[in-house]
C-alpha cells in the first residue's frame, strides 16, 4: 500500500493523484506535528488578548468588526462551519473531495494555520478510513478560497452532515466516524477558519486535469497518426529538422511521437514514391503537432502555477514564522482560476482538430479512396456518419466550456468580498472539458481503426497496428451497421484507461512522451 508522508514541505502532483484516485494512505511527519504544536501555541497565547485578532476573537467577513467573548469562541468556530456548509446541487466526485482533503491537510501541516495536531490527525484519519464527506457542486466563489466545499469536509470532522463510508454508502458522518473509531472534533480558536480558507478544491481539480491531459495529449498524437496513415497522408512534414525551425518545446514532442508512430508503416510506404500526388495535407493532418504541442506547453504553464500553489500556505489569518497572526489576501484564487480557464482552450482546440480529421475520413471526396462514411454497403449502411455528429456536438460543447469563468465576479459578504475568482467554477467546467475531449479522441480512434482495416491488404505500422489489434479485443472490425453506441463507449474506456497509449508504447522502442 502506497503511503504519502505529509510534512511541512509541499505534497506533489503524484501524491495528490495517489491519494485521490488510488486510495494511498497518508501519514503525518514528526516535523509537521512539531510545526502544528508550535503555531498552535501562538494562537492560544493570543486567545485571551484584549486586542482583536481576526478569526480568533472576531466574527468573519463583513462581521469582522464584531468582538466575540472568550466563552463563545468555540461556538463561533462551530457556527462558522455549519453556516458555510451551504453547498447545493449534484454530489462532487470522490476523487475531487479526497484531493481537496489532502491539500488542506498539507497546508495545515506547514504550521502556518494555528490548528492543533489533533485536528490534522483527524483529517488524515478520514482519508485513511476512506470516509468521503458529501460535497455539492455549487457554493464556492473561489475567494476566500473554496469555503463551502471545505466546510462540508470540516462538518464531517464534527460528526455532522453526510459522508460516503468505505463501502460508498451515504451515511451520517457520526455513524461513519464511530464505525471507524475516529473521535469527532470540538474546534478551538481559529480552527474552523483554518479548515476552510484555502484554494484546495480548485487546485486539486487542476492537478487531476493536468494528469488527465498528459494521457490525452499522447492519445491525440496517436489518433492523429492513425488518421494521417488511414488517409494516405505524408509524414515528411513531421521531420525533426522542419520542426526545429520553430522551436516550441511541445511541438517537438508531438512531432517526435507522430514520427515514431508512423515508422515502418506499409501503408505509408505504399504511396511514398515520386508518383504520389498527395504532396500537402490539410491543416488538421499537417499541423497536428503544432496544436497538440501548444496544448502541452499550456499544461506546462499550468503545472508551474500549480507548483507555486502547492508550496503555499493559504489561510487567513496566517501564523508567521516570527509568531505574528496577520490577515492577508493569499486565499484569492485568481492564479489557479486563470490556468483552469486557460486549459479549457487547448482542450477544445485539440478536440476540434480531431473532429475535422474524422469528418475527412468519412467524406469520399477527401478520404483518398475510402468508402463513403466507411460504410459496408453505402446507402443501406451509414457507417460512422452519426459518430461524427456526436463528435460535433461534443466539440460545440467544448467551445462553450472554453469561455472563461474567471472574468465573472459577483460581490459577496455585504461587499467585503467585492471581487472573487470563480476558480471553482473554472475547475468544474474543465473537468467536463477533459471528459468531452476523451470522447472526441475515442471516436477518432474508432474511425481511424476502421479506416486502417479498410486499407487491407496494406497493413498499418507496428505501433498503430498494435492499437487496432488491442481495440479489436472489444470492438469488431468493419462490417454491416451495428448498434454503435456501445462501441463508442468501449473506445472511450480504451482511451480513458490508457490502454490505447499502452498498446502503442508496447510496440515502440521508447514510450510516447
Catalytic site positions: 54
Phi, psi (rounded to 5 degrees) for 52: -70, 140
d(CA 443, CA 269): 26
User: E strand or H helix at 73, and its extent?
Assistant: helix 73-84
Q: How far apart are the first and last CA of the chain?
A: 28
Q: Is 348 exposed, middle or buried (0-12, 13-18, 19+ CB in 10 A)?
A: buried
Spatial contact of 109 and 36, defined as CB atoms under 8 Å apart: yes
d(CA 488, CA 485): 5
d(CA 386, CA 6): 49
User: E strand or H helix at 3, and its extent?
Assistant: strand 3-6
CA distances from 306 to 10, 113, 175, 206, 393 (A): 11, 20, 36, 7, 31
Half-sphere exposure of 353 (CA within 13 A, CB side): 27
d(CA 9, CA 311): 7
d(CA 135, CA 151): 9
State yes or no: cis peptide before 444, omega within 30 of 0.
Answer: no
Sign of the dihedral defined by the CA atoms of residues 133, 137, 138, 144, in that order: positive
**String of DSSP letters for 407-456:** T----BTTTTB-----HHHHHHHHHHHHHHHHHHHHHHHHHHHHHHHHTT
Spatial contact of 27 and 124, defined as CB atoms under 8 Å apart: yes
CA distances from 386 to 474, 480, 487 (A): 20, 15, 13
d(CA 98, CA 127): 7
Amino acid at each position: 500500500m502506497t503511503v504519502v508522508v505529509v510534512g511541512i514541505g509541499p505534497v506533489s502532483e503524484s501524491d495528490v493523484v495517489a491519494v485521490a484516485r488510488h486510495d494511498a494512505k497518508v501519514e503525518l511527519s514528526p516535523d509537521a506535528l512539531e510545526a502544528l504544536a508550535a503555531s498552535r501555541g501562538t494562537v492560544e497565547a493570543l486567545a485571551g488578548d484584549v486586542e482583536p485578532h481576526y478569526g480568533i476573537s472576531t466574527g468573519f467577513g463583513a462581521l469582522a468588526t464584531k468582538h466575540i467573548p472568550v466563552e463563545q469562541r468555540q461556538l463561533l468556530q462551530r457556527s462558522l462551519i455549519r453556516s458555510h456548509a451551504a453547498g447545493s446541487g449534484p454530489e462532487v466526485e470522490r476523487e475531487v473531495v479526497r484531493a481537496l482533503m489532502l491539500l488542506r491537510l498539507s497546508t495545515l501541516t506547514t504550521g502556518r494555520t494555528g490548528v492543533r495536531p489533533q485536528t490534522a490527525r483527524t483529517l488524515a484519519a478520514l482519508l485513511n478510513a476512506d470516509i468521503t464527506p458529501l460535497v455539492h457542486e455549487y457554493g464556492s466563489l473561489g475567494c476566500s478560497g473554496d469555503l463551502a466545499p471545505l466546510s462540508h469536509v470540516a462538518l464531517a470532522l464534527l460528526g455532522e452532515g453526510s459522508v460516503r463510508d468505505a463501502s460508498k454508502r451515504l451515511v451520517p458522518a457520526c455513524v461513519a466516524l464511530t464505525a471507524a473509531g475516529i473521535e469527532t472534533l470540538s474546534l478551538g480558536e481559529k480552527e474552523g477558519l483554518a479548515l476552510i480558507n484555502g484554494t484546495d478544491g480548485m487546485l486539486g481539480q487542476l492537478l487531476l486535469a493536468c494528469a488527465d491531459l498528459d494521457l490525452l495529449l499522447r492519445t491525440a498524437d496517436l489518433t492523429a497518426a492513425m488518421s494521417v496513415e488511414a488517409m494516405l497522408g505524408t509524414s515528411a512534414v513531421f521531420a525533426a529538422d522542419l520542426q526545429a525551425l520553430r522551436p516550441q518545446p511541445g511541438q517537438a514532442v508531438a512531432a517526435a511521437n507522430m514520427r515514431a508512430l508512423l515508422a515502418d508503416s506499409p501503408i505509408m510506404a505504399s504511396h511514398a514514391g515520386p508518383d504520389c500526388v498527395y504532396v500537402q495535407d490539410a491543416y488538421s493532418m499537417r499541423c497536428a503537432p503544432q496544436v497538440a504541442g501548444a496544448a502541452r506547453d499550456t499544461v506546462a504553464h499550468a503545472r508551474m502555477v500549480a507548483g507555486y500553489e502547492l508550496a503555499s500556505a493559504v489561510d487567513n489569518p496566517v501564523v508567521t514564522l516570527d509568531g505574528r497572526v496577520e490577515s492577508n489576501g493569499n486565499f484569492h484564487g485568481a492564479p489557479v482560476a486563470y490556468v483552469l480557464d486557460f486549459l479549457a482552450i487547448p482542450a477544445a482546440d485539440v478536440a476540434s482538430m480531431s473532429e475535422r480529421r474524422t469528418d475527412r475520413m468519412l467524406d469520399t471526396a477527401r478520404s483518398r479512396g475510402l468508402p463513403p462514411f466507411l460504410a459496408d454497403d453505402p446507402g443501406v449502411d451509414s457507417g460512422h456518419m452519426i459518430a461524427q455528429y456526436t463528435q460535433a456536438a461534443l466539440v460545440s460543447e467544448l467551445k462553450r466550456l472554453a469561455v472563461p469563468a474567471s472574468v465573472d465576479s459577483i460581490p459577496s459578504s455585504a461587499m467585503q468580498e467585492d471581487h472573487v475568482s470563480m476558480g471553482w467554477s473554472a475547475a468544474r467546467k474543465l473537468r467536463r472539458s477533459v471528459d468531452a475531449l476523451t470522447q472526441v479522441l475515442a471516436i477518432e480512434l474508432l474511425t481511424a481503426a476502421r479506416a486502417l482495416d479498410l486499407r487491407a491488404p496494406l497493413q498499418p505500422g507496428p505501433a498503430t497496428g498494435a492499437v487496432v489489434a488491442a481495440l479489436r479485443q472489444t470492438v469488431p472490425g468493419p462490417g454491416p451497421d451495428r448498434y454503435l453506441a456501445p462501441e463508442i463507449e468501449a473506445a472511450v474506456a480504451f482511451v480513458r484507461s490508457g490502454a490505447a497509449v499502452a498498446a502503442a508504447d508496447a510496440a515502440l522502442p521508447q514510450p510516447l512522451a
